[in-house]
Amino acid sequence: MELEFLGTNAGVPSLQRNVTSMALRMYEERRSFWMFDCGEGTQHQILRSSLKLSKLEKIFITHLHGDHIFGLPGLLSSRSNQGGTTPLQLYGPPGIKKYIDTSLTVSQSRIEFELEVNEHTGGVIFEDGEVRVESRLLEHRIDSYGYRIMEKDKPGSLDLKRMAEYGLKPGPIYGRLKRGESIALEDGRVLTPADVLGAPKKGRVVTILGDTRPCANVLPLAEQADLLVHEATFLHELHETAHNYHHSTALQAAEAARDAGAKELIITHFSSRYKDMEHLQPLLAEARSLFPKTLLAEELVLFPVTRHEE
């Protein structure tokens, strides 16, 4: 599981940074990637990465401001034109379906894959045997949502020494025990997974927030997250500006990470006044003064999602 930023600028693109989009790569876990927001120019960023649109499984939209959705119609059309045939699910606030339908209808764009658009107002919006995704409303000028992606716990490792003591050799039985099945041995004993499995491997938690100023719903979304992605549009010296525009400062992002007990923080969504990586260093220093495990989002750089043991 790795996070790749395709855009980190707020509002409009700059020569140095594109507008918001990020990809959660889960090739080992699901053989696919998920996208969060899709600002204008996201397609160009994908061309500069190793991502393939045919592997895109889900898109999550935080809110309907243009710097987070203007790349969607083109990206959907390109996925179809490039031979993407697998179903694609899209999740976003009310209004996202109208935007997509209107854009594709007016431009007479044809989508050759099944596109499922799910409008939501928070809650559990997706769950299967591997992952659960919850969403909560944040505080912005329009409805903006954060997403909490929770990987489900995995079975512990098999104790090969114990397996040998039971006279079992590698084969289908190993898989059955890992899936939680009990096995009847030839001598009549019943071998349960608890007899030969170590402690379950705790699933990772990634929290990705939309645009927001500090609010109560940030904490349950980010609680004990292995990785929190939080906007940091301004330095704290501009906290009044941030508040007026419904954004956060780097220091406020760090406060959220600290209060939620997050393990690692990546700040993103930077104002164009901070032109390049050199000008972003004060934001990083400000956040690290309160939350040392902070990183700057950097486009087309992979950030591993590490499982942090308690």
248: left (phi over 0), alpha (psi -120 to 50) or beta: beta
Q: Which helix (H) or strand (E) element contains residue 78?
A: helix 72-81
Q: Is 94 exposed, middle or buried (0-12, 13-18, 19+ CB in 10 A)?
A: exposed
Contact call for residues 250 and 235 (beta carbons, < 8 A): yes
Contact call for residues 212 and 246 (beta carbons, < 8 A): yes
d(CA 130, CA 152): 5
d(CA 258, CA 270): 20
Tokens 């999602």, residue located: 305
- Tell me which of 37, 67, 143, 226 is the catalytic residue: 67
Residue 159 known to bind ligand: no
Residue 68 known to bind ligand: yes
Residue 246 known to bind ligand: no
Residue 211 known to bind ligand: yes
Other CB atoms within 10 Å distance of the CB of residue 59: 24
Residue 67 known to bind ligand: yes
Residue 101 known to bind ligand: no
Active site residue 128: no
Residue 239 known to bind ligand: no
Active site residues: 67
Annotated binding site: 63, 65, 67-68, 140, 211, 269
Annotated binding site for Zn(2+): 63, 65, 67-68, 140, 211, 269
